[in-house]
Amino acid sequence: MNLELSEEQTAVRQLAKDFVAREITPHVVEWDRTESVDRAIVKKLGEVGFLGLTIDEEYGGSGGDHLAYCLVTEELGRGDSAVRGIVSVSLGLVAKTVASWGSEEQKRQWLPGLTSGAYVGCFGLTEPGTGSDAGNLATKAVRDGDSYVISGTKMFITNGTWADVVLLFARTNDAPGHRGVSAFLVPTDTPGLTRRTIHGKLGLRGQATAELVLEDVRVPASAMLAPEGKGFSVAMSALAKGRMSVAAGCVGLAQAALDAAVRYAGEREQFGKPIAHHQLVQELISDIAVDVDAARLLTWRVADLIDRGLPFTTESSKAKLFASEAAVRAANNALQVFGGYGYIDEYPAGKLLRDARVMTLYEGTSQIQKLVIGRALTGVSAF
């Protein structure tokens, strides 16, 4: 694995840094306070090509490899995890999955819109009764002539109220567990589909997280993505790559914590000198720095494996597990450096900690990542 970035990768990282400084940083506090990222950001993300990374140009994508995707995701995560999540879901979980599993017709129908930012995608797997145990989902899709009629409820759906299309997982036959699950691309304006914003989140407040209720939602049979009964494989393959993108976002969040802590430690004086002179403050900063580097290296390894066409699922779980736990530790350590000022939202540490906390929960909790890694090592499935 070559740790030196190519010219193209260096350029895309700089583009992302400039984008964050111009379009995100000035608005972060306001978006968090008002619980609303400005939706115009989606079009802007599309215009610079960040919603088309790794997607073929013939479908409107901007090409690039998975390391470039990680670099952009990291910078967005450094700027605002609420915005980073929009990309990780609309591109990472939806567009990339359509590109991998979709028919030619489905790719032409959805990819140009998703990559340009004309459409937003969301990923509908979790339900009120099934999170970690996603294979036991209850949403049903019943065949009726040339259509499927879908009923059920999806919970905690990122981009849910913004989305134009939901990659939805539903049970199409009575086979037990995940074997009866199929995937569908459902336009969110289909009659019978309603959405409710979930308010009061600890973090990612600017992001549109929603509950989706489907009551007799009729879609043509051609809306099915991949063969019938393959839905769970579709979901797991999307999440395996998605976890790399969450990990990269966590690296960015932890880097933001480090930058903020170093800056503040140089400015704040106690006992007659900047607190950076106190060794226990240096310890907090050094702990963050080691977490950032280790998380970044684990994440880049996943990108390298994907780009070389090698197996990456276990490494992706390792990266997501470590980077998400590291992001929580990093934000918490940064808040400690800020002292009491870390506890109010004029300073960045509190938001970083609130945003970090969900990273060990979504796209598979830390416990689930450990089961994935443990299964790969022992050959024994604990699921």
Catalytic residue annotation = 363
| Residue placing its CB nearer to ligand FAD in the complex, 13 or 195 | 195
How many Å separate Cα 100 from the centre of its chain?
18
Rounded least distance, CB 13 to ligand FAD, Å: 26
Contact (CB, 8 A) for 203 and 80:
no
Tell how strand 121-124 and strand 181-187 pair up. unpaired
What are the tokens at 35?
Answer: 């619980």
| Burial of residue 15 (number of CB atoms within 10 Å: 0-12, 13-18, 19+) | middle
* Cα gap 92→77, rounded to integer Å: 14
| Residue placing its CB nearer to ligand FAD in the complex, 33 or 308 | 33
Rounded least distance, CB 382 to ligand FAD, Å: 6
| Residue placing its CB nearer to ligand FAD in the complex, 106 or 369 | 369
| Residue placing its CB nearer to ligand FAD in the complex, 209 or 314 | 209
Contact (CB, 8 A) for 112 and 62:
no
Rounded least distance, CB 332 to ligand FAD, Å: 18
| Burial of residue 259 (number of CB atoms within 10 Å: 0-12, 13-18, 19+) | middle
Residue among 201, 263, 259 nearest 20 (CA) = 259
| Residue placing its CB nearer to ligand FAD in the complex, 278 or 329 | 329
| Burial of residue 342 (number of CB atoms within 10 Å: 0-12, 13-18, 19+) | buried
Residue with tokens 């932890």: 254
Rounded least distance, CB 127 to ligand FAD, Å: 8
Rounded least distance, CB 207 to ligand FAD, Å: 7
Rounded least distance, CB 156 to ligand FAD, Å: 3
DSSP codes of every residue in 204-261: -TTS-EEEEEEEEEEEEGGGEESSTT-HHHHHHHHHHHHHHHHHHHHHHHHHHHHHHH
* Residues contributing to the site for ligand FAD (CB under 6 A): 89, 122-126, 131-132, 156-158, 201, 204, 209, 358, 361-363, 365, 367-368, 371
| Residue placing its CB nearer to ligand FAD in the complex, 199 or 273 | 199
What are the tokens at 61?
Answer: 């994508």
Tell how strand 121-124 and strand 165-171 pair up. parallel
